[in-house]
Amino acid sequence: MDMERLVQARALLEDVTPLRSDCGRLCGGACCQGERGDAHGMLLFPGEAALYVSAAWAQVTPLPYALGGAPALLLTCDGACPRAQRPLACRLFPLFCRMRETGMDIVLDPRARGVCPLFLYGLQGLSQDFVQAARAAYSLLMQDDEGRAFLQGLSDACSLGVTRPARGAR
């Protein structure tokens, strides 16, 4: 993935969060409770692992599958990270880009259901500045072939109960 686009997408979400206050206070930072080496972490976008090569607070682990043709990588941390170094998936949480044949929809990530109390309130319960920044970040990533393939692979893997015909099927 073009590193410039990745950095721009991360920057769009630098200063906005799902709530205008610290949403981690509602759940005790549930999305930051994983430990290094366990299965709880955040997927890294293609090329993003390069930003964590020397991060003493984090570990990048390859997963046994690929998304959009790229190896899937998981970042786990010590439960706290330098805020400016959060991975893109952390910055986007609890939002998800659902791919459709007509484009993309921004929805709540189904994986947030059991972790994030904001899930119950839907998109309208989130800061609209955050939702718009996430939409802009996803749109930026969609401009890159590898980014679009990754998002398509992730959307397919987390199909959200939506069935799509196989490519070429009628």
Each residue's pLDDT tens digit, 65-124: 999 998 999 998 877 788 899 999 999 999 999 998 888 999 999 888 888 889 999 999
Q: CB–CB of 89/45 below 8 Å?
A: yes
Helix (H, G, I), strand (E, B) or coil at 83: helix
CA-based R_g, the chain, Å: 15
For tokens 């549930």, what's the residue?
Answer: 30
Question: 57-61, 63-67, 77-81, 129-133: which has the highest mean pLDDT?
Answer: 129-133
Q: CB–CB of 134/98 below 8 Å?
A: no
* Residue 106: closest CA among 91, 88, 123: 123
Overall pTM > 0.85: yes
Mean pLDDT of the chain: 86
**Banded pLDDT at 34 (limits 50, 70, 90):** low
